[in-house]
Amino acid sequence: MIPLSDSHKTYAIPFITIILVIVNVLVFLFEMTTLDLDAFIMQYAFTPALFSFSDPSTWAPVITSAFLHGGITHILFNMLFLWVFGDNVEESLGIIGYLVFYLGATISAVFLQYFIDPLSTIPMLGASGAISGILGYYLMVFPHHRINTLVIFGGGIFRQELPAQIFLVYWAITQFFSGFGSLVTPEEGGGTAWFAHIGGLLFGIIVGFLLKNKKTETTSYEVVDRFPGY
């Protein structure tokens, strides 16, 4: 299933989401035109076997890896998901909160994959972990929004408007099945860091759950305060 748009338009221009898309595209263009792609990837992608908590010089790829991509399809799908879901999350969290959240989802994604396979020599790259965090938050906070979706089924392609919770739960299930399936049959992993997706997703779900409950409690107190004598 491919998301095309969502039903809820934001009131403000999603500046940070736009900037993130532009930066990702510019870095990808630079990546594709660099003279030594392998050296570029090794320097800026995150390779678990090369990381050490005690060596600060190995920390930068935790962040820089999120702006690299493995090909045109990789970046196109990542930027599409970021564009469809990012604006609502940005409006909900605010500019600073959204940036902190994006960073937190990136770090959570990288380190879950790292803890699953700390000796891996395969470079990790892509914004998928951060975007998975956005999807997790969206699922918690905007479950009833509707997603205009391109569905590929039974050899046909058609458009269908789906509740966000159905689209995102289906997506989340595929990540968990693929992730744990890759532990059983590593050769079936297809080079995808599934646990990075899961790490970002869980971060987004937890943050979304906590903030949604906090807002609900605040609203309840505000309603009570309107009645004198309480």
CATH number of the domain that 105 lies in? 1.20.1540.10
Angstrom CA distances, 150 to 124, 142, 156, 172, 175, stand at 28, 20, 10, 17, 19
Structure tokens at 88: 């609502």
Residue 195 falls inside a structural domain? yes
Find out whether 1 and 84 touch, Cβ atoms under 8 Å: no
Mean pLDDT along residues 55-73: 94
Asked, for residue 230, whether it belongs to a domain, the answer is no
Beta strand pairing status for 2-6 and 146-153? antiparallel
Q: Is residue 187 part of a domain?
A: yes
Q: Could you write out the DSSP letters of every residue in 1-51?
A: -EEEEES---SS--HHHHHHHHHHHHHHHHHHH-S-HHHHHHHHSB-GGG-
How many domains are there within the chain? 1
Residue 191 reports pLDDT greater than 70? no
Q: Is residue 151 part of a domain?
A: yes
Say whether pLDDT at 19 is over 90: yes
Q: Is residue 100 part of a domain?
A: yes
What is the average pLDDT score of the chain? Answer: 86
Residue 37 lies in a domain: yes
Q: What local confidence, expressed as pLDDT, does residue 182 receive? A: 58
Residue 49 has pLDDT above 50, yes or no: yes
User: Band of the pLDDT at 173, cuts 50, 70, 90?
Assistant: confident
Tell me: the pLDDT tens digits for 119-143? Answer: 999 999 999 999 999 999 999 999 9
Tell me if 142 is assigned to some domain: yes
Please say if the pLDDT value at position 207 is more than 90: yes
Cβ-based neighbours of 116, under 8 Å, separated by 6 or more:
183, 195
Nearest 5°: the CA angle 157, 158, 164 is 115
pLDDT of residue 12: 85
Is 114 part of any domain? Answer: yes
pLDDT of residue 189: 45
| Owning domain of residue 30 | 2-225
pLDDT band at 76 (very low <50, low <70, confident <90, very high): very high
Q: Which residue has the tokens 């909160």?
A: 97
